[in-house]
Amino acid sequence: MKAETWGQKRFRWRCGLLVAAAMVTLTLYTGCTQNGDRTSPTESGILSVPLQHRRLGRVPPFALIERNGKDITLADLRGKVWIADFIFTQCVDACPLMSAAMARLQSEFVNEPDLRLVSISVDPEYDTPPILARYATQFGADPDRWYFLTGEKKTIYRLVREGFKLAVQDPDDPQAFHAPAGQTVLQMVSRWVDPEPAWAHTGHSHRQQPVIHSDRLVLVDRVAWIRGYYHGTDTKAIALLREDVRELLRAGKTP
């Protein structure tokens, strides 16, 4: 029997590591999906931390265009608790569900002047302000409390990846795979085991190219700290989000 070469040993070692990582991830995933709980292992750990101790990154300054044609910047949201999501108007599955969840939150917190909702298009070349305005009307969006934003695509995609730490695939580059900033190998394997919770493959853009993006709703506090990520199509996650929103609103202007 021939002795293994160093290259063969290294290949076997790498394969063993990948299998081990996959097994650990599968074990974590199975534990987190019992009793119908769709929360991913990473997200479950994040949301188990008390809200006052969660600082998941700070949203950087940005300037985008609202459906009324006016600029909206991070400064316009200072002092407000806000919820962001990433959608596009030609989406036919996850996005309408996410927008419906945002509409329910708008209704539930109608008497909270310090709450804002922010929906940002990931197909901005099609989603012009007039198109976003029509879409917003379908969901009864209050223009003073629920913003629909568009802008230059590179700016938006950079904001999604680097600012909100979420995944997005450029519809003009369907072969490219863009992972969230700072994603570990274990998290990558987790996506292969269960891609649905972390990603939403939501149809095609106006160019008939696939648009893939996160289905998370993102909770941001009054000084732009991200406090949590929540599945926008899952009722349990939305219930957790609702509780966290109330807690931040009660905290007043305390960072």
Instruction: Out of 67-71, 134-138, 173-177, pick the least confident.
Output: 173-177
State the pLDDT at residue 87.
93
State the pLDDT at residue 192.
35
State the pLDDT at residue 68.
96
pLDDT at 70 over 90: yes
State the pLDDT at residue 50.
80
pLDDT at 122 over 50: yes
Q: How far apart are CA 180 and CA 160, in angstroms?
A: 9
The residue type at 108: E
Mean pLDDT score across all residues of the chain? 77
Report pLDDT digits (tens) over 159-200: 999 999 988 877 666 555 444 455 444 444 334 333 333 344
- Taking Cα atoms as reference points, which of 125, 80, 128, 73 lies closest to residue 225? 80
- What lies within 8 Å, CB to CB, of 33 at 6+ separation is 194
- Dmax (CA) for the chain in angstroms is 77
- Cβ(136)–Cβ(32) below 8 Å: no
Q: 41-250 falls under which CATH superfamily?
A: Glutaredoxin (3.40.30.10)
Quickly state the pLDDT bin for 49 (edges 50, 70, 90). confident
For the chain, the structural domain boundaries read 41-250
Q: How many residues does the chain have?
A: 255
As a whole number, mean pLDDT of residues 192-216 equals 53
The residue type at 247: E
Model's pTM, two decimal places? 0.72
Return the percentage of the chain with pLDDT > 90, whole number: 52
State the pLDDT at residue 12.
56
pLDDT at 20 over 50: no
Quickly state the pLDDT bin for 105 (edges 50, 70, 90). very high
As a whole number, mean pLDDT of residues 195-213 equals 50
